[in-house]
Amino acid sequence: KNQVEQSPQSLIILEGKNCTLQCNYTVSPFSNLRWYKQDTGRGPVSLTIMTFSENTKSNGRYTATLDADTKQSSLHITASQLSDSASYICVVSDRGSTLGRLYFGRGTQLTVWP
């Protein structure tokens, strides 16, 4: 069964600190993995997209890694800011018979305290 699991479910850190969010998936055949940031009351915003051949991609203070062999990804946030408080969602796409089916993790709720 194709699944995407994220951990931790929630996380509280102090402003200025770094943190790492995890995403494990069983989706096969794999097409790409995406990280989205969703602020409360808003739609998700794309942070990164990685295909099979990419193992690191950065977007400002956000760095995503992908290990396609172990089917794991992480999102590292450097020097956190209050505006980083949001839900971070991992999304994996397959490349099966129904091309481009998307599978969503339930997200990690990050809270940054001053």
List residues near other proteins by CB under 8 A.
31-32, 34, 36, 41-46, 49, 51, 89, 91, 93-95, 98-102, 104-107
Rank residues 5 and 15 by Cβ distance to other proteins and give the closer one. 5
Give me 53's structure tokens.
């051949």
Q: Minimum CB separation from other proteins for residue 111, in Å?
A: 16
Q: Minimum CB separation from other proteins for residue 14, in Å?
A: 26
Question: What are phi and psi for residue 36, nearest 5 degrees?
Answer: -125, 150
Rank residues 45 and 82 by Cβ distance to other proteins and give the closer one. 45
Q: Minimum CB separation from other proteins for residue 104, in Å?
A: 4
Contacts within 8 Å (CB) and 24+ apart, 93-96: 93/27, 93/30, 93/31, 93/32, 93/33, 93/34, 94/2, 94/27, 94/28, 94/29, 94/30, 94/31, 95/29, 95/30, 95/31, 96/28, 96/29
Q: Minimum CB separation from other proteins for residue 49, in Å?
A: 6
Rank residues 31 and 74 by Cβ distance to other proteins and give the closer one. 31
